[in-house]
Chain A
């Protein structure tokens, strides 16, 4: 990577005070993200979402977030005031969650929300913002934008909700997107469509993407690089195309445990967990 990374994280540790007796949920995690798609995979509870939320500083107030470095475009995210942080959230770094209903405003129509983004980011008049919203909904391949504009978040399907989220990012143009299981609730056909427009958004605008998922096949085919998390730690980092050459026994174990359509196995390998993986 020639340019300085968008995001640079060194020894990020996140501890929840309610869980004082256990190890921190995230421990000494380090990675960089440039203008590329970086995946995080790992089993449930391994700390993927906690990592994503820590970058946005979205944890409950008492959560202890420490890092030797957590820099976004040269700014120390942990040192920013809450006010400065708000200026970054949704503007410079955006988040897509599994269920778009939690990200969209439930009492505002889709059209109003997308238009609001255009008013905020492009200083458009209400009237122009509406046209802009329509245009963006078309860009994410919503067939009947006029009708969709008038819907409320609870009236749209999961796939449509993710398209709406992405349409707003086409306007806000954040430098970095954190997507936490964005397609896990979607059926295969819709998933491919949403991933295609997410890919277009990120690649076409030179953005960085942190893509959190438990789906190995998806991450390996969608991302450029992959971080593998186990018990709060990043145990291995690989180019997505080289996942098959993983050296860490946990990564190898995950791959062997996965039933494969193309290379069928009679029995699936059972993961033997080594307590040492959680250390370090």
Chain B
């Protein structure tokens, strides 16, 4: 088991302002598995990812990475290195005045790794970018190329886990296809474990073996790719999300809000 999460709770703020965002979530992800997290905006998907990555610290419960329990604060550098995040908006997550070469060498510097040139050359290759891109700035790249850079940056430390937060949501369909293919190849080649967050049921089903459906901080159902494809689902909310992603169906009861 690469990731094991038990009784995870996250609350932001205190007292009357307390916002209990993740409410007792349990799941495990096997080594080399791709696990998906779907649900509507604000349900707590990114917060779970953040807790695993060490970015969100206000959690309680237990998180084990590769068998080892991690702490809310003060994580070892070696431990942080094992899981890397890729965000939705590659533009927002890349420093505008840093060349791609610098973006990629930064994590290596932080972790005190020396053979930087070799590693950068290798990772550019792996994500399908030409070597000359080292000297370019983020604004000189297309959206798809920027997302390749973000994936390269995540891979350069040789992590075992990629935490993917809506990695293709800002991309056009054709570019999304390239990135999804790349992610699929990388997982097979390197035996990576993925946790993929998305609001797009088709994307999650394409990439993931198992899928957790989240609503208001809780898992309402954990299902498999096969069941999702067949529509063999137990929770009405899962069916609503699935139907919605297939296109428009007039709804009879339109009362809301």
**Which residues of A are interface residues toward B (Cβ below 8 A)?**
43-44, 141-143, 157, 159-160, 163, 187-193, 195-197, 199, 214, 216-218, 220-222, 253-254, 257-262, 264-265, 267-271
Other than the known A188-B245, A192-B250, A259-B206, what 19 A-B pairs have Cβ atoms closer than 8 Å?
A43-B172, A143-B256, A159-B256, A187-B41, A188-B241, A188-B244, A191-B244, A193-B256, A196-B254, A214-B173, A218-B248, A254-B173, A254-B174, A258-B202, A261-B205, A261-B246, A264-B205, A267-B184, A270-B177
State how many residues of chain B have any CB contact under 8 Å with chain A: 36
- A44-B172, A214-B173, A254-B173 as given contacts; A221 in contact with B247, CB under 8 Å: yes
Q: Inside 8 A of B241's CB, which chain A residues have their CB? A: 188-189
Which B residues have a C-beta under 8 Å from some C-beta of A?
A: 40-41, 172-174, 176-178, 180-181, 184, 199, 201-203, 205-206, 225, 228-229, 240-251, 254-257
A-B contact pairs, 6 of them (CB 8 A): A192-B250, A221-B246, A222-B247, A258-B202, A259-B206, A261-B245
Contacts of B256 in A (CB 8 A): 141, 143, 159, 189-190, 193
Check B240 against A189 for contact (C-beta < 8 Å): yes
Contacting pair A259 B248 (CB below 8 A): no
Chain A residues with Cβ under 8 A from B205's Cβ? Answer: 259, 261, 264
In the complex the two chains form, what is the Cα distance from A257 to B203 in whole Å? 11
Whether A187 and B199, one on each chain, are in contact in the complex, defined by CB atoms closer than 8 angstroms, is yes
Partner of B40, one of A189, A216, A221: A189
Chain B minimum-CB-distance residue to A257: B177
Tell me the bound Cα distance from A265 to B245 in angstroms. Answer: 17
Write out the residue numbers on chain A whose beta carbons fall within 8 Å of the beta carbon of B243.
192
Task: Provide the residues of chain A in CB contact with B257, threshold 8 Å.
Answer: 142-143, 157, 159-160, 163
CA distance A195 to B243 in the complex (A): 14
How close is A50's CB to chain B, nearest CB, in angstroms?
17
B172 with A270: CB separation less than 8 A: no
Q: Which listed residue, B174, B202, B250, B251, touches A271 by the CB 8 Å rule?
A: B174
CB nearest to A191 among chain B residues: B244
Tell me the minimal C-beta distance from B226 to chain A in angstroms: 9
Of all chain A residues, which has the CB nearest B39?
A: A187
Which residues of B lie under 8 Å from residue A44 when comparing CB positions? 172
Residues of A within 8 A of B181 (CB): 267-268, 270
| Cα distance A192–B178 in the bound complex, in angstroms | 29
Closest Cβ of chain A to B138, distance in Å, is 17
* A221 partner residues in chain B, CB cutoff 8 A: 246-249
Give the CA-CA distance A118 to B195 in the complex, in Å. 51
**What residues of B have a CB within 8 angstroms of the CB of A159 in the complex?**
256-257
Known contacts A159-B257, A193-B256, A264-B206; A43/B174 CB under 8 A:
yes
Q: Are A192 and B249 in contact (CB under 8 A)?
A: yes
Q: CB-CB < 8 A to B254: which residues of A?
A: 141, 193, 196-197
- B247–A257 touching, CB < 8 Å: no
Residues of chain B lying within 8 A (CB to CB) of residue A195:
248, 250
* Cα–Cα, bound, A262→B173 (Å): 17
Do A261 and B184 have beta carbons less than 8 Å apart?
no
Are A268 and B177 in contact (CB-based, < 8 A)? yes
Question: Chain A's nearest CB lies how many Å from the CB of B85?
Answer: 22
Query: CA of A187 to CA of B201 in the docked complex: distance in angstroms?
Result: 12
Residues of A within 8 A of B251 (CB): 192-193, 196
Q: Are B173 and A43 in contact (CB under 8 A)?
A: yes
Top 4 A-B residue pairs of the complex, sorted by shortest distance between their CB atoms: A221-B247, A188-B244, A268-B177, A259-B206
CB distance from A101 to the nearest CB of B (A): 16
- Asked if A217 contacts B229 (CB within 8 A), the reply is no
Nearest A residue to B41, CB-CB: A187
Known: A188-B240, A195-B248, A221-B247. A261 touches B177 (CB 8 A): no
Cβ A259 vs Cβ B247 within 8 A: no
Q: How far is the CA of A9 from the CA of B138 in the complex (A)?
A: 39
Q: How far is the CB of A92 from chain B (nearest CB, A)?
A: 26
Bound CA–CA A216/B199 (angstroms): 16
* Nearest neighbor of A271 in chain B, beta-carbon distance: B174
State whether B176 touches A220 (Cβ < 8 A): no
What residues of chain B lie closer than 8 Å to A261, measured between beta carbons? 201-202, 205, 228-229, 242, 245-246
Are the CB atoms of B174 and A264 closer together than 8 Å?
no
Please give the distance in Å from A249's CB to the nearest CB on chain B: 12
A199 interface neighbour in B173, B178, B250, Cβ under 8 Å? B250
CB distance from B70 to the nearest CB of A (A): 31
Tell me the smallest distance from the CB of A134 to a CB of chain B, in Å: 15
Kindly identify which residue among B202, B225, B244 contacts A260, using a CB–CB cutoff of 8 Å: B202
Q: Is the CB of B248 within 8 A of A192?
A: yes
Interface centre among A163, A187, A199 (most CB of B within 10 A): A187
Could you say which residues of chain A place their CB within 8 Å of the CB of B228?
Answer: 261
CA–CA, A181 to B228, complex, Å? 27
Question: What chain A residues lie within 8 Å of B244 (beta carbons)?
Answer: 188-189, 191-192
